[in-house]
Structures are given as structure tokens and as C-alpha cells.
């Protein structure tokens, strides 16, 4: 068990969200599911919490009701090796959600994600400061990040 576990507050979609996330990321799994009993909270049998793991990180999804919503102040970052990986996560997570700028999106549950090619921070810290500025300028014009376009901007092509 991790010392610190992220708890994600959902209105009533904790089970659905955990299923979606564990299906999307290979090697992920669902652990304990706590359901309401006759004493509540909520109707008997309703999911209260779901423990799940994605990419070796433990999470808890909580059906806490509509009082709190996700904001961009907290996001999950997915570091991707290839454009195909960027495309796969972007397409899956924006389905029913919404695209934002600079590799950010909100999924259908309202949770914010950043889908980032691993090469991007390397370009920003590369030996060519002008290239880094060009790569940053290119990224600022994008929604989904495009590795070839970022590299081209860095190279000045």
C-alpha cells in the first residue's frame, strides 16, 4: 500500500470511472469496492468507494455527491513515448469530454489530464535556447501535442 493515495471525488460515477481508467491503461486493476449497506450512505448496494491501480499508482474513487467538482488545479499527467500513444490516450480521454490547450483535456467525468510526449521537456531544456522557444511557441498553438511539429519547430524547419 502506498503511503499517500489520491482520492478522486465523483458525484455518482466512481465505479464507471474506475472501470474506464483501468481499461484504458494496460496492467491496471480494480481492488476493493465498498458498497452502501442498509444504513447508507445512499441506497443499499450503491458504490461508495472503489480502490484501483493504474500504472502502479493507487487511487480511490469516491461517490461523494455533487458538492465538489474537478478543476484544472489538479490534473493527471500521462508521459507518452510515441505519437501513437499520445493519440490513443487523447482520443480515449476526450471521448465525451473536452479538449483544451497545450496537451490538456477533461475526460467525460470532468477530470483534467495532460497528455505529454516525453520528448517535449527534453526540447525545452535542449542545448538550443532558440529552438526551445520555437518548440514552446508551437506547443502554445496546439490542443493535442504533435511530436513531429514540436521537433520541427525546435529544429527551425
Phi-psi region of 154 (alpha: psi -120 to 50; beta: other; left: phi over 0): alpha
| Phi, psi dihedral angles at 52 (to 5 degrees) | -150, 160
Q: Quickly state the pLDDT bin for 39 (edges 50, 70, 90).
A: confident
Helix (H, G, I), strand (E, B) or coil at 85: helix
Using alpha carbons only, what angle is made at residue 89 by residues 26 and 17, rounded to the nearest 5 degrees? Answer: 70
Q: The pTM is what?
A: 0.93
- Region 109-131: mean pLDDT is 97
How far apart, in Å, are the Cα atoms of 25 and each of 52, 55, 93, 138? Answer: 11, 7, 11, 28
70-157 shares the fold of 1-68: yes
Domain positions in the chain: 1-68, 70-157
In this prediction, residue 130 carries a pLDDT of 97
Pick the CATH number of 1-68 from 3.40.980.10, 3.50.50.60, 3.10.180.10, 3.90.230.10: 3.10.180.10
Run of H or E including 60? strand 57-63
Tell me, what's the pLDDT at 157?
Answer: 85
The model's pLDDT over 49-68, given as tens digits with 9 standing for 90+, comes to 999 999 999 999 999 999 99
Q: Are 72 and 104 in contact (CB under 8 A)?
A: yes
> Could you say which of 3.10.20.30, 3.10.180.10, 3.40.50.2000, 3.30.565.10 is the CATH number of the domain covering 70-157?
3.10.180.10
**Local structure of residue 127 (DSSP, 8 states):** S
Buried b / exposed e along 109-137 (16+ C-beta atoms within 10 A): bebbbbbbbebbeebbeeeeeebbebbbe
The sign one gets for the Cα dihedral 32, 27, 55, 148 is: negative
Cα radius of gyration (the chain): 18
Amino acid at each position: 500500500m502506498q503511503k499517500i493515495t489520491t482520492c478522486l471525488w465523483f458525484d455518482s460515477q466512481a465505479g464507471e470511472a474506475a472501470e474506464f481508467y483501468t481499461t484504458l491503461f494496460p496492467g491496471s486493476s480494480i481492488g476493493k469496492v465498498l458498497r452502501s449497506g442498509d444504513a447508507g450512505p445512499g441506497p443499499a448496494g450503491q458504490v461508495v468507494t472503489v480502490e484501483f491501480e493504474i500504472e502502479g499508482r493507487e487511487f480511490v474513487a469516491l461517490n461523494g455527491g455533487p458538492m465538489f467538482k474537478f478543476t484544472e488545479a489538479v490534473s493527471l499527467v500521462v508521459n507518452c513515448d510515441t505519437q501513437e500513444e499520445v493519440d490513443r490516450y487523447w482520443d480515449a480521454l476526450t471521448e465525451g469530454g473536452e479538449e483544451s490547450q497545450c496537451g490538456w483535456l477533461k475526460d467525460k467525468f470532468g477530470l483534467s489530464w495532460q497528455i505529454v510526449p516525453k520528448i517535449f521537456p527534453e526540447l525545452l531544456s535542449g542545448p538550443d535556447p532558440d529552438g526551445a522557444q520555437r518548440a514552446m511557441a508551437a506547443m502554445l498553438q496546439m490542443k493535442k501535442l504533435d511530436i513531429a511539429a514540436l521537433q520541427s519547430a525546435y529544429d527551425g524547419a
